[in-house]
Structure 1
Amino acid sequence: MKNPNDKGLVRSLTLIDAVGIGLGAIIGAGIFVVTGIAAGVSGPAFIIGLLIAGVIATCNALSSAQLAAIYPESGGTYEYGYILVNPTVGFSAGWMFLISKLAAAGVVAIGFGSYFYQLVPIASPMSFSVLAIIGLTLANYFGIKKAGILNLVIVSVTLVSLLYLVFSGLPQVKAENFKPFAPFGITGIAEAAALLFFAFTGYARIATLAEEVSEPKKTIPKAIIITIITAIVLYVAISIVAIGVIGTEHMASSTSPLQVVADALSAPAISTVITIGASTAMLGVLLSQILGISRMMLAMGRRHDLPPVFQRVHSRYRIPHIGILLTGIVILLLTLLGSFEFIVRAATFTILLYYSITNIAAIKQPKKDRMYGKLIPIVGLIGCLAMSISLPLNVIISGIGLLVVGFIIRFVIHKIYSNPK
């Protein structure tokens, strides 16, 4: 529930801003790293896995779109869970979002430092990671519109670099690199789909920021659909070029497969362009993580699922400044500590449960509020649950353990603030 004494957030994000934030959240480590891992488990057929992941992600995206159009407030699935299911489910969604995005942000910050060091080797990679966190935290602090403009610049550089790779590589695609197409059968394709699903998960960032989007009922569904379609088309094009140029064996043997593709091409400065694109991709994801996490803290602070100090909105910049500052500090600590591997692994389980709750909320929406029918969220829910139970048992147990920790923290906070909202 909103604090009547604060001035609230301001609806200043346009359709282009919202699409930019969605693409900034999606185009990151997924395309630059996970494609190589997926190639290793399924061969060239990982493109089929990519399309399956894209279909499930699209169903989830449409569920998010119709929910955000009716409930355009900060918090996304946290709010939908509270309103349409029950407070326990709502809190679970919010806590899982925080855990997964904070863990991912630390990894992304380290990734940025590693890539940027290749361009400017004048300081340690960790120094660049720290500077990026501080700089993007400040960028978030001075208003959503300024952060949105910065994000558009970052995303534009990333898109241009990836398109350059696609058009440079298409003439050198070799048909023989697609044979055998599915050496590991259906099992390999299914595993690739589960891996590649995480390359699409940033579209929900638009819903999390719904309270700052202008004309949300029209803008949010359009932005989410444009974002997910753009990502699928771009990912398929890049995957075809990568397989066709270097083959899946070379992709699987590298932690930066697109860099290997670039090195195999003769286009002018292609390797440098891809390194720049990878650097800006990591920056875009990190910027969107700070945006999303701080707005989730705002929503959870309003309901006293986190200390109510997080519901404060800066009187001048109209942003949740306490949440932004704490988010920056936590990401900085995770980065300096190298992130905790078990948190990162558990985050894969928690984010699937998060999207499962999105689909459950969409299923429970009144018929008059549904934009895409009931089948879409049902398919999305089945896809999420199927992928979640396919994860290793230790990952599932770790995810459940982190969720239990969240409920303990919530219980303590509710005891301290005896009149929860």
Structure 2
Amino acid sequence: MAEHLKRRIGLGLLTAYGVGVMIGAGIYVLVGAVAADAGIWAPLAFLVAGLIAAPTALSYSEFSTRIPEAAGEAAYVGKGLNSQVLAVVIGLAIVAAGTVSAAAVLRGGVGYLTLVVDVPYVAALVAIALLLTGVAVFGVMESLALAAIFTVIELVGLGLVVWAGTAAEPVADWVSQPEIVWSGVGAGAVLAFFAFIGFEDIVNMAEEVSEPERTMPRAILIALVVTTIIYAVVAWVTVRAVPLEALGSSERPLALVWQAGTGGDAKFLSTIAVFAALNGVLAQIVMASRVLFGLGKRNPSLAIFHHANPRTGTPVLATVLVGGMVLIGALVLNVSQLAEMTSSILLSVFVIVNLALIFEKRRNPEAPFRVPMIVPVAGLLLAGAALVFNIQSAL
């Protein structure tokens, strides 16, 4: 068995992977929740959320050029804070968060599928989980190419929603243009921030990226900018076309946009939501297996996972384990409650990674890609504030 992954991923595939992870299935339900807080200023809330995520994304970008390894966060924390124990804990937390997130998205995606096709729920769930795990085992290029196709389907669907929204008559809420309530925009921005979680997955592909010192920062930042614009535009047409009261109580807000603009059935959006879910599940399986692969190099007890198949170039055992845990989680766990923990886990990781970069920059200022010290400081403070807000709202 090989102990090295194959460097075959370029900027295009890596960026598409990042955009696909961030967009995911959440955009199909999250816009309504953000609009409930921010009103017609929901697009502004998404832009603010993108700005909140930017410092941490920049910190990840610098670290990804300093230490272009799988299990990126674990490597960053291990070096920056000089603690291999904390590094392994962080790595396992990322695996857990990715697995729980994938299980939740898998359940949601299969739920959408049963609305489109009359299939047994459990059988469909098992079949999709096995199929996506098989793709992830088969090869990273195949996995990311399939994820890129899913991403294109998602973007086409969102493009059609934007078209329908612009064709709809503006609702009274939009025409009246009430003054900005900044507390509502702030609350909406914190909620919208969770839609940007996913850029951190990009760094765990570092050992399979060509010229990671150049490619990684560009992919992270392009994906963040593209996603921010997409969210803001989708939020704009949504609050323009659908009354706020209807948005706040709907679990399918984009279907309301389609119906407002065309008067037709929005069943096709359920189909697109299935592809969005498949994208999210596949991306998380690929990411979490790379984290396990990287942890195998750092900890003897996990060394069994630090092997790649010579032919496929993928960490087969790690991928099968992650795929199996996703399937079990989707079948037997109360995934909705666990999914609420995912954001808190990742925000805690963001705080620690920003802190690690502060220490690392003080010891060694030079890096292939550098950001000013104020960037990780701002990332630490913003992620910390979002974490506190998230914990308070859960209590």
> For residues 278 and 325 of structure 1, do their structure 2 counterparts lie closer, same or farther at Cα, with a shift above 3 Å needed?
same
* Letter matched to residue 101 of structure 2: A
Change (3 A) 1:237 1:173: farther
* Cross-structure match for 2:213: 217
Deviation track 1:167-219 (CA, whole Å, cap 9, x = no partner) reads 22213251632346468x43332222221111011111111111101111111
In the other structure, the counterpart of 2:377 is: 378
Shift of 1:291: 0.6
Are residues 375 and 112 of structure 1, via their aligned partners in 2, closer, same or farther at CA, if it must alter by over 3 Å? same
Instruction: Find the residue that maps to 1:45 and give its secondary structure.
Output: helix
Aligned match of 1:128: 124
Query: Is 1:323 aligned with 2:325?
Result: no
Instruction: Answer yes or no: is the 8 Å Cα contact 1:30–1:198 preserved in 2.
Output: no
Q: Say whether residues 1:293 and 2:316 are aligned partners.
A: no
Equivalent of 1:119 in 94, 116, 119: 116
User: Is contact 2:164-2:257 (8 Å) kept?
Assistant: no
From 38, 53, 71, the equivalent of 1:75 is 71
Matched, 1:310 2:305: yes
Query: Could you give the per-residue CA deviations for residues 111-134 of structure 1, whole angstroms, max 9, x where no partner exists?
Result: 11111222222x123332222211
Which residue is 1:407 aligned to?
none
Match of 1:351 in 2: 346
The answer to which of 258-267 and 238-247 deviates more is 258-267
Match of 1:368 among 362, 366, 369: 366
Aligned partner letter, 1:375: I
Letter in 2 for 1:319: T
- C-alpha contact (below 8 Å) 1:297/1:306 kept by paired residues: no
More relative contact order, 1 or 2 (CA 8 Å, 6+ apart): 2
Q: 1:182 to 1:389 in 2, by over 3 A?
A: farther
1:1-40 correspondence to structure 2 within 5 Å: 6-40=2-36
Residue pair 1:116, 1:275 contacting (<8 A) in 2 also: yes
Counterpart CA distance in 2 for 1:102 and 1:124 is: 23
* 1:229 pairs with one of 219, 225, 228: 225
Task: Decide whether aligned partners of structure 1 residues 394 and 154 sit closer, same or farther in structure 2, where only a CA change above 3 A counts.
Answer: closer
Q: Output the CA distance in 1 between the equivalents of 2:286 and 2:68.
A: 16
Q: What is the Cα deviation at residue 152 of structure 1?
A: 1.2
Q: Structure 2: where are the runs of 5+ without partners? A: none
Q: How far apart are residue 30 of structure 1 and its match? A: 2.5
Range with greater deviation from structure 2 (189-198 or 269-278)? 269-278
Shifted more, 298-307 versus 379-388: the winner is 298-307
Counterpart Cα distance in 1 of 2:269 and 2:218: 29
1:166 and 1:296 map into 2 onto residues whose CA distance is 36
Is 1:94–2:91 an aligned residue pair? Answer: yes
Equivalent residue number for residue 192 of structure 1: 188
Asked if the contact 1:53/1:197 (under 8 Å) is kept, the reply is: yes
What TM-score, normalized to structure 1?
A: 0.87
Mapped contact 1:26–1:203 kept (Cα < 8 A): yes
Give the counterpart letter for 1:367 in structure 2: P
Distance 1:362 1:392, change over 3 A: closer
CA distance 1:89–1:113, change in 2 (3 Å): same
Q: Which runs of 5+ in 1 are unaligned?
A: 397-421
| 8 Å contact from structure 2 (residues 171, 243) kept in 1 | no
1:108 deviates by 0.1
Which of 231, 242, 260 lines up with 1:246 in the alignment?
A: 242
User: Residues 133 and 371 of structure 1: is their aligned pair in 2 closer, same or farther, counting only changes over 3 Å?
Assistant: same
Give how far 1:139 is off: 0.2
Counterparts of 1:40-79 in structure 2, within 5 Å, are 40-79=36-75
1:350-387, Cα deviation, whole Å (9 max, x unpaired) = 11011112222332333221522122222211110001
Q: Distance in 2 between matches of 1:303 and 1:61?
A: 24
Distance in 1 (CA, whole Å) between partners of 2:349 and 2:388 is: 14
Look up the SS of the partner of 2:210 in the other structure: coil
CA distance in 2, matches of 1:357, 1:350: 11
Letter in 2 for 1:101: G
* Alpha-carbon distance in 2 for matches of 1:173, 1:350: 42
Quote the Cα distance in structure 1 between the aligned partners of 2:49 and 2:393. 23
Which stretch of the first structure deviates more once superposed, 248-257 or 324-333?
Answer: 248-257
Distance 1:131 1:66 in 2: 39
SS at match of 1:392: helix
Residue correspondences, number: 389
Structure 1 residue 317, shift from structure 2 partner: 1.1
User: Which residue is equivalent to 2:167?
Assistant: 171
Partner SS for 1:208: helix
Find the aligned partners of 1:390 and 1:305 in 2 and give their Cα distance.
37
**Percent same amino acid among aligned pairs?**
26
Q: Does residue 392 in structure 1 map to residue 362 in structure 2?
A: no
Q: 1:394 deviation in Å?
A: 8.6
